Amino acid sequence: MKPGDIRTFKKGQGNAVVVAVGVWVKRQGKALHIHLAGISGKQTTVTNQRGAERYHRTLFRDLRNLLIESNCWPYGDEGSETETREPR
């Protein structure tokens, strides 16, 4: 399996896709960026920096938890603020 591998399968009324995606975290300044690579040969990021264009709390949280469970998170508790909702 390598980033970009794609398989399709039937799910419900339509088709679904499984894609192998590379996921890793890197500090960029004060913020942490989780990188995703392998979809159509492209790469994108999501960050824990509120107000940034690439901020997405739940996606960052879920990918952070994936990296933690895989022993690939070197930043301790950093990013854990995404575990709770922001006050409205």
What's the pTM?
0.87
Q: Can you say whether residue 77 is alpha, beta or left, with left for phi > 0 and alpha for psi between -120 and 50 degrees?
A: alpha
Give the residue-averaged pLDDT of 20-41: 94
**Total residue length of the chain:** 88
* Residue 88, pLDDT score: 64
Q: Has residue 11 got a pLDDT over 80? A: no
Closest CA to 22 of 60, 63, 53, 65: 63
* In the chain, domain spans: 6-83
